[in-house]
Chain A
Amino acid sequence: MERKKVNIDVKQYGMLIALIVIYLIFYILSGGLNATVMNINNLVMQNSYVVILAVGMLLCVLTGNIDLGVGSTVAMTGAICAIMVLDYGIPVPIAFLVVLVVGLIVGMFEGFFIAALGIPPFIVTLATMLMGRGLTYVALKAQTKGPLPPEYTKVGAGYMPTINIGSNGKPLDLICIIIAVVATILVILTEIRSHRTKLKYGFDTVPVWQTTIKTLVIIGLIWFFMLKLAMYRGIPVVLVLMAVLIGIYQFITSQTVAGRQIYALGGNAKAARLSGINTKKVFFWVYTNMGLLCAVAGIVLSARNASATPKAGDGFEMDAIASCYIGGASTYGGIGTIMGAVVGALIMGVLNNGMSLLGWSTDIQKVVKGIVLLGAVTFDMLSKNKDK
């Protein structure tokens, strides 16, 4: 069978490379401050909710829309959860469960108006944003509610069990290292398997040296990250949560019929409908899902702060939306990936973190974030136009 060698598509990894470059720039500017074990740990903790929200937001963006109600829903679910635990003494696990259902209901509420009644998502979610924020203030009586018990805060600020093999007071967590080893093996096996499948079906393959470089970079990143975590307090609980969510949604968008239907709807809703896709149903579930993930983020955020405040989650929707676009999603829908959105969220996170370390004011930080968003999307559009 005739087989071609094709080069790896570097553009596909453009934003990942940008992330590494941005990180390195701040590494130099801050004299290595952003690579301390403590800071790596902070990066994970600070950005977990934006990553979780970006994952859900990507599905909305894929349909060609956005969800503006995200920040308010995060605040509202966090508030409800804190009130249940502190004022009514409801056990934490049950409170979590109830709040997830609340998030689901908020999502269904949005989904109902969007899918069944055909109200534009922009309007529906703008309304949710206003209502959610208002209700949060009412529920919390405009006060911060805290402190939350340790079994609650563990979700946002806690760590997985560790096996310390460090010496001389320098901790080193065996679990992290085991995970790094397993991940390394998995990455290598996946590459080999995908290469074999391509050979088996007679598809084009990428030259071995290119695959090797790609694999080495990925493995390098895994080890850097895991070693830093191992030298601190081990794996944060939110990291596990994040990894699981990213895995699930990456799978849904790339490997399932449901995922493909979202892309089809975003690409051309009329054609998707005439191909037998129930577009209303897709809309409904995309927004319902967003509500659920808001509740997850609400729990994580209140847990990390050990309290619920009425102002929580302010502007999160914008961070999540920006993450998707920086990650290469199209504003018209139909184009975008989970990994892209995650990388986009991390770029925003690394920027925030780096600028804080340098002592830049939040005002300047906003300006820089704006520039990066505009720059990333402009670059993306221009490079696409060049291809035509």
Chain B
Amino acid sequence: MSDIILEMRHITKEFSGVKALDDVSLTVKRGEIHALCGENGAGKSTLMNILSGVYPYGTYSGEIVYNGEVCRFHNIKDSESKGIVIIHQELALSPYLSIAENVFIGNEVTKVRGVIDWTKTHHRAKEMLKRVGLENENLNAPINSLGVGKQQLVEIAKALAKKVDLLILDEPTAALNDEESKHLLNIICQLKEQGITCIMISHKLNEISSIADSITILRDGKAIETLEKEKDEFSEDRIIKGMVGRELKNRYPDRVSHIGDVLFEVENWNVYHPDDRNRQVIKNVSFNVRAGEVVGFSGLMGAGRTELAMSLFGKAYGSRVHGTIKIRGKEVHLKDISDAIRHKIAYVSEDRKNYGLILIDSVKRNMTIASLSELFSKNGVINKNEELLAAEKYRKAINIKTNSIEQVVGSLSGGNQQKVVLSKWMMMDPDILILDEPTRGIDVGAKYEIYNIINDLAKAGKAIIFISSEMPELIGMCDRIYVLNRGEVVGELQHNELSQEKIMKCIVTHSGKGNE
């Protein structure tokens, strides 16, 4: 067999007249980890969907040569029978089925046609799970009892059960924290040693440059270049240059901080789990944010950052919430979310699709939903013209790429969706903005624009709380960082002492204490 496992030649794909892919060719060598990079909308997922048969033969032009044979996939089963398996960003697991059942979902081990062989299922599931380092899990536990990181590994085990030769991973680490990501990447490297070829789409450039053997960069539906390890420079800056077509000198825009008085102050904040009223999620957290200041919250997944943020936002999370909130030195009691909004607090959720946007509604309606009663109505009747003008103003001001403000939000790219969420809250002119992972899953260019928006808001004297799992981002953007671990503040770092090592040290020291 030749050492080229896959060649996609001159692939062109159109969506109602718009070229999503324009004469793209891709060559993947056997046994390598091949990364696909590009901004959102560059065509990475489209290309992979063609390869895996999600878009059937005939809906695109060009050809796919796999193992020296021209292939015409009509559906996913066709490509899977050849050993090509795709793992999508949204996991395809059934939450209440057991781990073993999920490994063989759609690919059940049977005795007679249609009758499941449970002994074999368990035996083989164990085998597959071992290869991804999950041999110690209870096979009969429902899959939703595992964390996202482990679920991602189960997805890989599922692919292994299908006798995969070419594994396609679409943003496998997007929802994982650093530790989980590292583990997953290790597993991918191990699979490579077992001879499995891997194509990986990712926005996390540090991961790509550390594990990939070659990198193909897409931009605006065209393949720009393929970089190879050892032959080409493999740095993050080099990749970014290919992705955006120019050098992004600084990944974080400069900002001169004009920090004022303390605007938002939290003292002894305690929150318990909403279902388990005895489990404390947030313990005696105290912090403050000054006007014009961007304050970061760092911590591992499960440290309680989102829980803290949401409980502050009018008790949107948790039970037995107590503690003091002061705005400009005055104590306030926030009963519910609309109370928080009345006190000019805004919360941008980490999960924009489920908690931030009404995907079937228009850009305009999403933008105005939080400020409808205050700004765009009189006696409960909406002033639609004012609403339209305001939405149009924000669309232009923060450069949301959409045909019109009547376009359905679900059809926009991640970065533009996030801008819609931001404008929703900017419209109500908040004093305090809580941004929970505002750049998750969006491309480098859009990230930069979001950073600019954050800086502008800080310049306008807002108090900004910035939660992120990406430490470089926090370090690049924040004036000050609080480190959270297991629901407690375990460190406060000033601007001049911000570094990943310091943050990790706070976490490790505290975790160590807990184990003693």
Please report A residues at the B interface, Cβ cutoff 8 Å. 197, 201, 203, 255-258, 260, 263-264, 267-268, 270-278, 330, 334-335
CB < 8 Å: which of B355, B358, B377 contacts A256? B377
B380 touches A267 (CB 8 A): no
A256 touches B369 (CB 8 A): no
A278 touches B388 (CB 8 A): no
Beyond the given A201-B389, A274-B355, please list 13 additional residue pairs across the A-B interface where CB-CB is below 8 A: A197-B385, A256-B380, A256-B382, A263-B361, A264-B358, A267-B359, A271-B354, A271-B356, A273-B337, A274-B316, A274-B349, A276-B340, A276-B370
State how many angstroms separate the Cβ of B430 from the closest Cβ of chain A. 11
**Complex: chain B residue closest to A330, CB-CB:** B360
A-B pairs with beta carbons under 8 Å apart, 14 shown: A201-B389, A256-B377, A257-B372, A257-B373, A260-B382, A264-B361, A267-B359, A268-B360, A271-B358, A272-B369, A274-B313, A274-B316, A276-B340, A330-B360
Quick one: which of B39-72 are within 8 Å of A by CB?
none
Residues of B within 8 A of A274 (CB): 313, 316, 337, 347, 349, 355-356
B419 close to chain A: CB less than 8 A? no
B81 close to chain A: CB less than 8 A? no
State how many angstroms separate the Cβ of A381 from the closest Cβ of chain B. 14
Given A256-B377, A257-B373, A260-B372, decide whether A273 and B382 contact each other with a Cβ distance below 8 A: no
> Per-residue 0/1 for B371-408: is the Cβ within 8 Å of any A Cβ (1 yes, 0 no)?
01100010011101100110000000000000000000
Given A256-B377, A257-B372, A271-B354, decide whether A276 and B337 contact each other with a Cβ distance below 8 A: yes
B424 touches A258 (CB 8 A): no
**Complex: chain A residue closest to B15, CB-CB:** A388
B14 close to chain A: CB less than 8 A? no
A273 touches B424 (CB 8 A): no
CB < 8 Å: which of B338, B354, B388 contacts A201? B388
B365 close to chain A: CB less than 8 A? yes
B338 touches A278 (CB 8 A): yes
**Complex: chain A residue closest to B421, CB-CB:** A271
Residues of B within 8 A of A330 (CB): 360
B341 close to chain A: CB less than 8 A? yes
A203 touches B388 (CB 8 A): yes
B331 close to chain A: CB less than 8 A? no
Residues of B within 8 A of A277 (CB): 338, 369
> Per-residue 0/1 for B308-331: is the Cβ within 8 Å of any A Cβ (1 yes, 0 no)?
000001001000000000000000
Give CA–CA (A141, B492) in the complex, Å: 75
CB < 8 Å: which of B338, B349, B358 contacts A276? B338
Give CA–CA (A263, B382) in the complex, Å: 14
B360 touches A335 (CB 8 A): yes
Give CA–CA (A255, B378) in the complex, Å: 11
Given A276-B337, A276-B338, A334-B361, decide whether A270 and B354 contact each other with a Cβ distance below 8 A: yes
Residues of B within 8 A of A203 (CB): 388
B471 close to chain A: CB less than 8 A? no
Residues of A within 8 A of B372 (CB): 257, 260
A268 touches B354 (CB 8 A): yes
B254 close to chain A: CB less than 8 A? no
Residues of A within 8 A of B355 (CB): 270-271, 274
B382 touches A255 (CB 8 A): yes
Number of residues in B with C-beta < 8 Å to the partner?
A: 31
CB < 8 Å: which of A260, A273, A278 contacts B365? A260
**Complex: chain B residue closest to A267, CB-CB:** B358
Give CA–CA (A265, B271) in the complex, Å: 27
Residues of A within 8 A of B336 (CB): 278
Residues of A within 8 A of B37 (CB): none
CB < 8 Å: which of B354, B357, B380 contacts A257? B380
CB < 8 Å: which of A197, A258, A260, A270 contacts B369? A260
Give CA–CA (A334, B385) in the complex, Å: 22
State how many angstroms separate the Cβ of B384 from the closest Cβ of chain A. 7
**Complex: chain B residue closest to A251, CB-CB:** B381
**Complex: chain B residue closest to A387, CB-CB:** B16
Give CA–CA (A268, B349) in the complex, Å: 14
Residues of A within 8 A of B357 (CB): 268, 271
Most chain A Cβ neighbours within 10 Å, of B337, B347, B355, B369: B369
State how many angstroms separate the Cβ of A265 from the closest Cβ of chain B. 9
Given A255-B384, A273-B337, A278-B336, decide whether A268 and B369 contact each other with a Cβ distance below 8 A: no
Residues of A within 8 A of B382 (CB): 255-257, 260
Residues of A within 8 A of B341 (CB): 276
Residues of A within 8 A of B347 (CB): 274
Given A256-B382, A274-B349, A276-B338, decide whether A334 and B370 contact each other with a Cβ distance below 8 A: no
- For the complex of A and B, the 7 pairs showing the least CB-CB separation, nearest first, are A267-B358, A276-B338, A276-B341, A275-B370, A268-B358, A275-B369, A276-B337
Residues of B within 8 A of A276 (CB): 337-338, 340-341, 370
B337 touches A256 (CB 8 A): no
Give CA–CA (A291, B353) in the complex, Å: 34
**Complex: chain A residue closest to B347, CB-CB:** A274
State how many angstroms separate the Cβ of A366 from the closest Cβ of chain B. 32
**Complex: chain B residue closest to A259, CB-CB:** B382
**Complex: chain B residue closest to A334, CB-CB:** B360
Give CA–CA (A277, B366) in the complex, Å: 13
B360 touches A255 (CB 8 A): no
Give CA–CA (A197, B382) in the complex, Å: 15
Given A275-B424, A278-B338, decide whether A264 and B316 contact each other with a Cβ distance below 8 A: no
Give CA–CA (A352, B248) in the complex, Å: 68
Quick one: which of B329-347 are within 8 Å of A by CB?
336-338, 340-341, 347
Residues of B within 8 A of A256 (CB): 377, 380-382
Give CA–CA (A268, B424) in the complex, Å: 15
> Per-residue 0/1 for B464-493: is the Cβ within 8 Å of any A Cβ (1 yes, 0 no)?
000000000000000000000000000000
State how many angstroms separate the Cβ of B354 from the closest Cβ of chain A. 6
Give CA–CA (A256, B377) in the complex, Å: 8
Residues of B within 8 A of A267 (CB): 358-361
Give CA–CA (A275, B370) in the complex, Å: 5
B316 touches A273 (CB 8 A): yes
Residues of B within 8 A of A258 (CB): 380
Give CA–CA (A277, B355) in the complex, Å: 13
Give CA–CA (A277, B357) in the complex, Å: 13
Give CA–CA (A335, B358) in the complex, Å: 11
Give CA–CA (A270, B389) in the complex, Å: 27
State how many angstroms separate the Cβ of B16 from the closest Cβ of chain A. 8
Give CA–CA (A260, B381) in the complex, Å: 10
Residues of B within 8 A of A278 (CB): 336, 338
A268 touches B359 (CB 8 A): yes
State how many angstroms separate the Cβ of A297 from the closest Cβ of chain B. 26
CB < 8 Å: which of B358, B377, B381 contacts A272? B358
Residues of A within 8 A of B358 (CB): 263-264, 267-268, 271-272, 334
Residues of B within 8 A of A268 (CB): 354, 357-360
State how many angstroms separate the Cβ of A194 from the closest Cβ of chain B. 11
Given A271-B354, A274-B349, A276-B338, decide whether A255 and B381 contact each other with a Cβ distance below 8 A: yes
Residues of A within 8 A of B356 (CB): 271, 274
**Complex: chain B residue closest to A273, CB-CB:** B337
Given A276-B338, A276-B341, decide whether A264 and B369 contact each other with a Cβ distance below 8 A: yes
Residues of A within 8 A of B370 (CB): 275-276
Residues of B within 8 A of A272 (CB): 358, 369
Give CA–CA (A260, B384) in the complex, Å: 12
> Per-residue 0/1 for B290-312: is the Cβ within 8 Å of any A Cβ (1 yes, 0 no)?
00000000000000000000000
Give CA–CA (A318, B64) in the complex, Å: 52
State how many angstroms separate the Cβ of B110 from the closest Cβ of chain A. 34
Residues of A within 8 A of B361 (CB): 263-264, 267, 334
Residues of A within 8 A of B340 (CB): 276
Give CA–CA (A15, B337) in the complex, Å: 40
Given A267-B358, A274-B316, A334-B358, decide whether A201 and B369 contact each other with a Cβ distance below 8 A: no
Give CA–CA (A178, B380) in the complex, Å: 33
Give CA–CA (A268, B384) in the complex, Å: 22
State how many angstroms separate the Cβ of B317 from the closest Cβ of chain A. 10
